[in-house]
Structure 1
């Protein structure tokens, strides 16, 4: 079935709650582990259908945020889902405390039981109204950014559509674009400050009602940090500051020299070569077609996956007015179908959709065949390892997209991935500071951001046309900080895993791919740190790992 033909019907949560109550009653009455597993399969069917319909509403709202029907549906799930999820936790507690727990764990896996423990700490009836309010605030933020109408040479563009001009090879155009985007953010600065202040206070109140001292602890539970904790993350960031920032600064300095600039300003960071950053040739349709050819050659598994996506119209990648900014991959359980949402804008980011987002979707397609639903509940650093690694595994096919500038693309790809690590770590440390000190004012938060910029990006200088950024506001365009607290470090952790595959595939591509495929198939059947070891990768939390990866990449980079 094609995506446009998938029927949508609003979930009746009163009926869903009755069905879940019936499942709970049957589960408690079951006299054997096998009987409980049979009841548990009823739970899979119920949750799969709810997730499918809620996701259809979410996707269609993302595609057109001005559509009143799906805006109403999105708001409906924002309101109703928290209470239902609270009841779901009550069911999972029965699973957790089952007299047949050992037999159940042998089927659904240890991480599933640990996640139930974390989920039980993270929700209660008392915080449901606050969770509903939090959802509404996040939706308001997303709509605020999607409302951007920037006048550009007689056209009205959104933020995604401005990207090619922000990274244009002509510096005057970059400066003009930066100024216009800055003007947009300055115009909504007060709204951004107010929204984030409300979110911080809301999340802090949730945490305290649930018995936590700060939201940071609750955030870790909600991110399913089931195999590492705050101390591991803090030590990881220390390694980044000590062993990675100097490596990243080397990249920035090389880029400055290559561009022939006396000083590298923020508006220059997105440009990798004086003649312009490599751009894919061909129309969006041709890029997808090239992607199909690439995955056909990569492996039988990737061919089957991409053909499935194309045949069922499971991509929405064309930029349009009123479309939500950014991109994501999501999953429709009833159809065992991944879905990719993005905004093509004529930059290398379009190819990232065909590599990064397809890395997510490929793993989703594989894990969707697993009858154990819990095995699909991957933690985010695992999910991002799938996607970021796929970016490197597809390197041999970049001529399909960039022609004679493929080598330039590969160099800029590696540079961009390396310099992302300090930025992503900075986002994470900023959030720890904010939620440890929820009483901070908007101005104080911006001061903290500026301090972190000096530590993680010491080369950084903002142009005069961007006072919003220069005054410490850049973080407010990073939607994860508003929408998905504590998610961003998962990208950083995953990037270190992907770098290990990058180094490995230079020596033995086939062995690296086999490891990656096995890692994707493992899904969430085991804990992240253990799956890394089984795949032949080093844990990024171990002392010395970051230094070792940087050394391996520097050898590759110096040969480019």
Structure 2
């Protein structure tokens, strides 16, 4: 699969040959040797050495991104899977000890201490943290972990159901959840729940194997538990377990009651007793579902117009991505679930992946990923790869801010009354999202501080957190679907402890949105400076 068409040339390389095969270790090893032999004695020489190091890092990062994108776009294509597995089995395990050698060399060289602190403090802290955390015996374990993550994506990407006479992905089934016909909603929701449960044993098996690998990595690194290890690996220098628990408590005290009041109002308006999980998306007043587009091209056209109204350069970026085939937006069989923005690090260009099916949520998702893309482009002239990517707590501010800034222009897709409905829906989903974030984050705290737990104990912990942070909907008759509901949150499998960042970022995004409401020019200027 080719990622991108007629792209502008990548930024010039410094040490990596232009025709190098980045999937061939014999061509990569001499480049690491070249970096090893350098011994910069001055701050200026150290800066040049870091740029050479950065050159190789960017080349390998883009190669890895291209293979990952191809694999997630086509989880049912053996050739794409083979290319990605080759990279994580043959290239990354050889590269990781060499990166560590460079980091160790950097930490030991006196010239590093002479680098301008305002410019290099963050990079220096990151490198020294990795030096302390790295263990060579963890490299093969990380390889096996990545292979299990591929297995999860293949399994979930293959999930389909036959409904209304057609085979459909689980993402495509979401368009039945907001229909006025309640029996049809129940049938659709129940079929999807049943399909997920068919693979619950395999999903639990994958996760149990991931747990064992992560626990062994923790022991090798000398950390008390995987939570402590993951916090260091994720570079959470500014907050810790205590602050996460304070976030959980604040959500429980302030947000959960609001979420439940909104659901109680929904229940009353719909005149239902009880409210069921298939009643959570339908319009309470019986109005037709919001259907902003039918085809991906319409989604891109509309979001391009929205982004242009936020700022002309933002809209131009999405048009550029479409022109150069840097988008894969529609849901289909064999495509991994979820959405993400990847960066081609040598071209310094973004790629957006998602699973659109024609819903309002797809508009929000594309605006979200476009926010990441704007962030990437704002940092494009930064020479160091390490500084072209922010920590997730702030990276998600860019994406979630764009969702909210774009919501001011939903009239691109709807008439005035529908646009108002879409905005109300977005605010209500913000409230639900904070509850879900607290649930997912607290669940991971429980998982990784209870080593050796059984599947049944894990399910019980999830149910307890649902009682703490969940809504008022009744799952009677669908208890298995509820206690296995965490299976659908891919972050728990693929990106452990990456989720509270969305909660932190949402609070920042709401402040950005508020600032732009008060003074658009000043608010947007401050937003872009922050990026």
1:549 aligns to what? none
Q: In 2, Cα distance between the equivalents of 1:99 and 1:272? A: 65
Secondary structure of residue in 2 paired with 1:226:
coil
Shift of 1:285: 0.8
Q: CA deviation at 1:256?
A: 2.7
Change (3 A) 1:110 1:48: same
CA distance in structure 2 between the aligned counterparts of 1:8 and 1:149, rounded to whole angstroms: 40
Asked if 2 retains the 8 angstrom alpha-carbon contact of 1:147 and 1:322, the reply is yes
Q: How does 1:404-419 map to 2 (within 5 A)?
A: 404=416, 405-419=418-432
Q: 1:453 aligns with which of 452, 455, 466?
A: 466
Higher mean C-alpha deviation, range 333-342 or range 8-17:
8-17
Task: Show structure 1 runs of 5+ residues with no match.
Answer: 521-560
Structure 1 match to 2:198: 187
- Asked if 1:72 corresponds to 2:82, the answer is yes
Structure 1 equivalent of residue 30 of structure 2: 18
Aligned positions, number: 516
Say yes or no: does 1:161 pair with 2:172: yes
> Any idea what SS the aligned residue of 2:397 has?
helix
- Name the CA shift for 1:190/1:335 in 2 (closer, same or farther; >3 Å): same
Contact 1:115 1:226 in 2 (8 A): no
Instruction: Measure the CA separation in 2 of the matches of 1:8 and 1:308.
Output: 28
| Matching residue within 47, 50, 54 for 1:40 | 50
User: Is the contact between residue 122 and residue 222 of structure 1 (CA under 8 Å) also seen in structure 2?
Assistant: yes
Structure 1 residue 21: Cα displacement: 2.8
The equivalent of 1:55 in structure 2 is 65
Note the residue ranges of structure 2 that are not aligned, 5 or more in a row: 8-18
- Superposition RMSD in Å: 2.1
Cα drift, residue 371 of structure 1: 1.4
Alignment pair present for 1:376 and 2:377:
no
Aligned to 1:295: 307
Q: CA deviation at 1:70?
A: 1.0
**Residues 252 and 32 (structure 1), Cα distance of their counterparts in 2 relative to 1, 3 Å cut:** same
Match of 1:388 among 380, 400, 406: 400
User: Who is 2:356 aligned against?
Assistant: 344
**Are the equivalent residues in 2 in contact too, given 1:237–1:425 (CA < 8 A)?**
yes
How far is the alpha carbon of 1:5 from its aligned partner?
5.7
Give the direction of change, closer, same or farther, for the CA distance of 1:414–1:31 in structure 2 (3 Å limit).
same
Q: Alpha carbons of 1:90 and 1:237: their partners in 2 closer, same or farther (altered >3 Å)?
A: farther
Q: Distance in 1 between matches of 2:76 and 2:139?
A: 27
Report if the CA contact (8 A) 2:263-2:471 is conserved. no
**Pairs within 5 Å for 1:209-288:** 209-273=220-284, 274-281=286-293, 283-288=295-300
Distance 1:436 1:276, change over 3 A: farther
Aligned to 1:529: none
Question: 1:11 aligns to what SS in structure 2?
Answer: coil
Give the TM-score normalised by the residue count of structure 2: 0.92
Work out the CA distance in 2 between the residues paired with 1:9 and 1:62.
22
**Structure 1 residues 275, 247: closer, same or farther in 2, change over 3 A?**
same
How far apart are residue 379 of structure 1 and its match? 1.1
Please say if residues 330 and 354 of structure 2, whose CA atoms lie closer than 8 Å, have aligned partners that are also in contact: yes
Q: Is the 1:240–1:422 contact (alpha carbons within 8 Å) kept by the matching residues of 2?
A: yes
How does the TM-score come out when normalised to structure 1? 0.87
DSSP 3-state at the match of 1:369: coil
Displacement, 1:337?
A: 0.8
Instruction: Report how far residue 309 of structure 1 moved.
Output: 1.6
Q: Deviations over 1:453-497 (max 9, x none)?
A: 111115242152x33323x11001111100100001111111111
Cα distance in 1 for partners of 2:400, 2:378 equals 17
For 1:140-196, what per-residue CA distance to the aligned partner results, in whole angstroms no more than 9, with x for missing partners? 111110111211122111221222123433221221112111221221111111111
- The answer to whether the 8 A contact 2:215-2:225 is kept is yes
**Alpha-carbon distance in structure 2 between the residues aligned to 1:517 and 1:156:** 44
Aligned equivalents of 1:261 and 1:286: distance in 2?
A: 36
- Counterpart contact for 2:341–2:369, Cα < 8 Å: yes
Following superposition, the deviation at residue 298 of structure 1 comes to: 2.2
